[in-house]
Structure 1
């Protein structure tokens, strides 16, 4: 806690106060007709952006538009609270093409992570 608290004190010298007043955690879930949870997305928002932390759609529900609707829900919320961007990361074995299809752009990549031959991508969508 000490390190986090001290870093926040330091950052407040440089980041406008208004950006600290808008923050929180978000979680949206998707269910099928039987009431089973088939997906969800969790995010934090602060400093005029949303950072997607975890995003999953069950394999049995993929290609049905569930992921698109969850992403659109986050984007609509981001616009409502006047965020300027959405940030997220994914691995090459997860969904980089899905994010590209939805207008997200790669702003960074980490090769050989989490293992040799794999890549982690960092995406941004400017709103």
Structure 2
């Protein structure tokens, strides 16, 4: 622990402290913009044997759907399943009243795939991980 003046700083997991910070920021935001709950989102693709061969998950809130993970089994890539999953996610986002979808991918993953689906780059973080880029993309659902 590091101390400075009358404060004590701690690094590491602390569930009670986490809740104080989370609820404090939520109260601050709610006072300014009103209630804005976040809701989990999950969508999975299963084959004829009920095996998961792809899927995605994230959450919606603040008028946007955020896709945290999207994965397809190697055997399913290049066959349109990823585009179909994104289309279903976008429809769910509309049902939730979202104005758009956003996500990030890495330069070694599939930035071109997302751009083909109409996602526009909105930022790049270089050397994340070192030697690569983290690319942030969004797609408006209102246009």
TM norm structure 2: 0.82
The aligned residue for residue 81 of structure 1 is 96
**Structure 1 segment 42-53 matched on structure 2, within 5 A:** 42-53=57-68
- Once the two structures are superposed, residues 12-39 of structure 1 have per-residue CA deviations (whole angstroms, 9 ceiling, x without a partner) of 122233xx25x31111111112221101
The aligned residue for residue 31 of structure 2 is 13
Residue from 56, 60, 82 that aligns with 2:75? 60
- Once the two structures are superposed, residues 63-101 of structure 1 have per-residue CA deviations (whole angstroms, 9 ceiling, x without a partner) of 111111110111011112221111100000111001000
The aligned residue for residue 106 of structure 1 is 121
The aligned residue for residue 106 of structure 2 is 91
- Equivalenced residues, count: 123
Runs of 4+ in structure 1 over 6 Å off? none
Q: Does 1:124 align with 2:138?
A: yes
Tell me which structure has the larger Cα radius of gyration. Answer: 2
Q: Which runs of 5+ in 2 are unaligned?
A: 1-18
Please report the RMSD computed on the Cα atoms of aligned residues, expressed in angstroms.
1.1
**Structure 1 segment 29-48 matched on structure 2, within 5 A:** 29-48=44-63
TM norm structure 1: 0.91
Q: Which runs of 5+ in 1 are unaligned?
A: none
